[in-house]
Amino acid sequence: MKKIKVVQIGTGHDHSFAPVNSLKKRTDKDAVKKQKAFIKLIHDMSKEVLMSSHIIYDNTFKFVPKEKVLEVALEQESRGADIAKIVSNADTEEELLENFEAITLCKKNSENSCAVFV
């Protein structure tokens, strides 16, 4: 079995594969094209791709509204990811409940698996 090494790439580095939550890179057409090509390479090896987004504002994890979670999940899906993983924070019970609702919203509106981590 051929193994490949996949590394996590941070937003503070100049890499070809930027995270989806990078506000600067998420709409960078060249970065998206490279992500899609990389995901195709993984699929060509008969492997699945989990794409993970840790949504960070002002260098801290923040609560992500369910509509934004769905937007990020669909963005990951459009790039070819088989599983969308979005990390959100919850400081209140209401935010925690909305994170659970985000999972349901993603399941109803996405063809792939979606996981929301709190």
Q: Encoding tokens for residue 1?
A: 């079995």
Q: Looking at the domain assignment, is residue 7 inside a domain?
A: no
How many Cα atoms occupy the beta-carbon half-sphere of 63 within 13 Å?
13
Q: Looking at the domain assignment, is residue 16 inside a domain?
A: no
Q: Looking at the domain assignment, is residue 4 inside a domain?
A: no
Please tell me the distance from the alpha carbon of residue 88 to that of residue 108, in angstroms, as a whole number. 19
Quick one: pLDDT at residue 12? 43
CATH number for the domain spanning 91: value is: 3.20.20.70
> What total of structural domains would you count in the chain?
1
Q: Looking at the domain assignment, is residue 15 inside a domain?
A: no
Mean pLDDT of all residues belonging to the chain: 76
Range of the domain at 39: 29-117
pLDDT one-digit tens code per residue, 64-117: 899 988 988 898 899 998 888 888 888 899 999 999 999 889 888 888 777 777
Q: Looking at the domain assignment, is residue 18 inside a domain?
A: no
Tell me 68's DSSP state. H
* DSSP E strands, 1-118: 50-54, 56-57, 60-61, 83-87, 113-117
Q: Looking at the domain assignment, is residue 64 inside a domain?
A: yes
Quick one: pLDDT at residue 21? 42
Q: Looking at the domain assignment, is residue 3 inside a domain?
A: no
pTM, to two decimals: 0.72
Q: Looking at the domain assignment, is residue 23 inside a domain?
A: no
